[in-house]
Chains A and B, each alone.
Chain A
Amino acid sequence: MVSFEALLESLQTGSGFWHPLLWGIAIVIAFFIVYILRGLGNKTYKKQTEQTKSFLSGNPEYEKEQMHVKGSNVYWGFTEVLKGVYDLLKKMHNGNASDYVMWFVVVMGVLFILVVML
């Protein structure tokens, strides 16, 4: 059977290492810190006061259901900036089965030139 010591050996990657126990301790410490920080905030938190309401530049707050940002809109800005890239990729992924085969032929041709001609 697997010995416990074998499990606990550390991994050397060259510029760093990984030890299961150290990592376990680090995670516990991180949880502890998070717990303390949460406790600090919890003291001053009072329910049902002005403090719990969100502030939207003075605009009225909508219902929670209406405020949920839908999946497609989450990275709106990112996709807007990369519009050129996306248009290109859309043209590439056109869903035509013939083109799927064409890409295979193209890659084979390029590899052929690289391997055989050079």
Chain B
Amino acid sequence: MIYNIPYLAVVALVLIGLYALLFKRNLIKMVIGVTLIESGVNLFLITLGYRENSIAPIYTGSPGGIMSLPVPQALTLTSIVIGVAVLALMLSLVIHIYRHYGTLDVRKIRRLKE
């Protein structure tokens, strides 16, 4: 059971992120929702790479024994880098939207519809 807690956290993070995206009206909160989903997925990747009683995959002065998988960590890092870029882009777009619309309410930012 204790090993399932990270997976439960993943599900919780993704669901909270989706909740924020679906039901929160503030654009900043929607952006936070996206980053929450991203954290959930990253946590999932990291958890997949863990092996019981393993050490970090660094050879420098390592005590020996099982190492956790380095590949998911590399994937997570890539995903974090991409996440930073997406986050920066979303926030700058929010700044621009606020300038044009004077509001951050997602229900009022609907000039493009139908």
Contact = CB atoms under 8 A, between A and B. Distances in A.
Given A90-B114, A95-B114, A101 B106 contact: no
Contacts of B30: 97-98
B111 A95 contact: yes
A98 B113 contact: no
A102 B22 contact: yes
A96 B113 CA distance: 8
A89 B23 CA distance: 22
B89 interface: no
A93 B107 CA distance: 13
Contact of B112 (A89, A95, A98): A95
A96 B107 contact: yes
A28 B109 CA distance: 54
Interface in A24-52: none
B111 A101 contact: no
**Chain B contact residues: helix, strand, loop or mixed:** loop
B22 A94 contact: no
B112 A101 contact: no
B67 interface: no
B36 to A, nearest CB: 13
A105 B18 contact: yes
A93 B106 CA distance: 14
Nearest to A89: B114
A93 B114 CA distance: 5
Nearest to A102: B22
A97 B22 contact: no
Contacts of B21: 98, 101
A33 to B, nearest CB: 43
Nearest to B21: A101
Give the top 8 A-B pairs by smallest Cβ distance, nearest first: A95-B113, A95-B110, A101-B21, A93-B114, A90-B114, A95-B112, A98-B22, A97-B106
5 contacts: A94-B113, A97-B109, A102-B22, A105-B18, A105-B22
